[in-house]
Structure 1
Amino acid sequence: MTIHIGAKKGDIAETVLLPGDPYRAKWAAETFLTDPKLVNEVRGMLGYTGMWKGNRVTIHGSGMGMPSLSIYANELIKDYGAQTLIRIGSAGGMQDKVKVRDLVLAMTSTTLSTPSRGIFKEVNFAPSADWSLLDAAARAATKRSAPFHVGGIYSSDVFYDERPDLNEQMTRHGILAVEMEAAELYTLAARYGRRALAVLTISDHLLTGEALPAEDREKSFGDMVEIALEAAFAK
């Protein structure tokens, strides 16, 4: 048990999927895992552990933004021994070729700042995904014929952005999508020698203004969860 996670020792699996929304964690656990057990509900941040094709998995909410993600990822790694951490969440498209409902597998994540920035001083650390997870996710998406893109994303530390000039530069430099957590997850994974990946569903688009209707989100997010699970346990 930690300050923010009430799970007992042994309740958390070595493989953890991290949606931002705790209720999405509940939905994913009840939809894709066998016999999911609620292992955390401290501060309403739900976490469940169950089985997927004979493999033990925890699906745990991370909250919104890098500071919140950093708290949960740190405790999951240092106190519960998580080895593989995959963010599953929504993102905003930043390229014409990236369509609403497409998947983005984040190879790298650009950011202005993360909770870890202070330790690097003048160095601009480049957070990146684990290659084995990225490769396995791409193969799983190809097998499912799910439209996907592999490349760099932007992890913003604000939701209501007032820097259109910055977004323009991200688009100009080929950034596929924007979200709010992956850069810190990748940094922590590098620090502690763990595997990390972000598998994202494009739910809206910064260039076109298109947004995924609420009733369509579950089906689209389902592909993301299954690809993340397949990647985590690929041989």
Structure 2
Amino acid sequence: MSTHIGAESGQIAPYVLLPGDPYRARWIAETFLEDPQQYNDVRGMLGYTGTYKGVRISAQGSGMGQPSMAIYAQELFEQYDVQAIVRVGTCGALDERVKVRDVILGMAASTDSAMNRPRFGDVTFAPAADFDLLRYCYEAAQEKLLPAVVGGLFSSDQFYNPNTEISATLARYGVLGVEMEAAALYTLAAQFSRRALAVCTVSDHLITGEETTAAERQETFDDMMVMALDAIVRLDREGDGR
């Protein structure tokens, strides 16, 4: 067991889907995984392991924001030898070309967080996704005609950001969506030489004002899950799971 995850050695799969909402982790397990077994309920952060198309995969809640997510990602990488984490979450769209319910595959993640300063000092590290996971996820989306777009994310430490101009500035530089976890996840994957990808369904649009309901955010983002799961299966079958 680690400090925040109550699993024994071997209970967590080499590949983990990491939603922020623990109830989404349960929904993933019950909806997509065969024979899911719960291994964690510490602090209400539910975790399950099952199989998808014959590949062992876990689903683990991580909470909201980079500090919370980083606790779980680091323990999964460092103490449970997890080889790849795919964040499956939501984001707000910053670009009119991206629609609500589209899925953004986060190629890189800008951030306003200070979390990397102890690591890099004055150097600005550029957190980026694993290429193979990104490629497999995009290929799965194309084959299944699912609405996916590849581009940059903005990982903000503030859900209610008082800097109302930053979204427009980021959009001018090609950033497609704003969320709260990817930059820290990509940094930890780099630290431990593991793989990571953020796959985010657009739940609301910062330009048009369109949004989804809480129930839809929890239980109806099937396209995102299928892309992420199929990407993991491809990674495993290509022998790229390390």
The TM-score normalised by the length of structure 2 is 0.94
The 1-side partners of 2:188 and 2:23 are apart by 24
Q: Residue in 2 aligned with 1:113?
A: 113
Question: Kindly, what percent of the aligned residue pairs are identical?
Answer: 52
| Structure 1 unmatched runs, 5+ | none
State the one-letter code of the partner of 1:202. V
Name the structure 2 match of 1:29: 29
Structure 1 distance, partners of 2:188, 2:172, is 28
Q: Which residue of 1 aligns with 2:166?
A: 166
Taking the TM superposition and a 5 Å limit, the aligned residue runs for 1:1-235 are 1-214=1-214, 216-217=216-217, 220-234=220-234, 235=238
Structure 2 SS opposite 1:169: helix
Which segments of 5 or more consecutive residues in structure 2 lack a partner in the other structure?
A: none
1:99-156 per-position Cα deviation (integer Å, ceiling 9, x unaligned): 0010000000000125333211000000000000101000001111111110111000
Label 1:217 to 1:69 Cα distance change in 2 as closer, same or farther (>3 A).
closer
The alignment's TM-score, normalised by the length of structure 1, stands at 0.97
Partner SS state of residue 224, structure 1:
helix
Task: Output the CA distance in 1 between the equivalents of 2:11 and 2:117.
Answer: 31
Task: Say which is worse superposed, 44-53 or 206-215, in terms of deviation.
Answer: 206-215
Sort the Cα spacing of 1:169 and 1:183 in 2 relative to 1 into closer, same or farther, 3 A.
Answer: same
Alpha-carbon distance between aligned partners in 2 of 1:12 and 1:200, rounded to the nearest angstrom:
23
**Deviation at residue 16 of structure 1 after TM alignment:** 0.5
Runs of 4 or more off by more than 6 Å in structure 1? none
Q: Note the aligned Cα RMSD (angstroms).
A: 1.2
- Quick check: 167-176 or 206-215, which moved more? 206-215
Contact 2:90 2:217 in 1 (8 A): no
With over 3 angstroms needed to count, the CA separation of the structure-2 counterparts of 1:114 and 1:187, relative to structure 1, is farther
The alignment of Structure 1 onto Structure 2 pairs a total of residues equal to 235
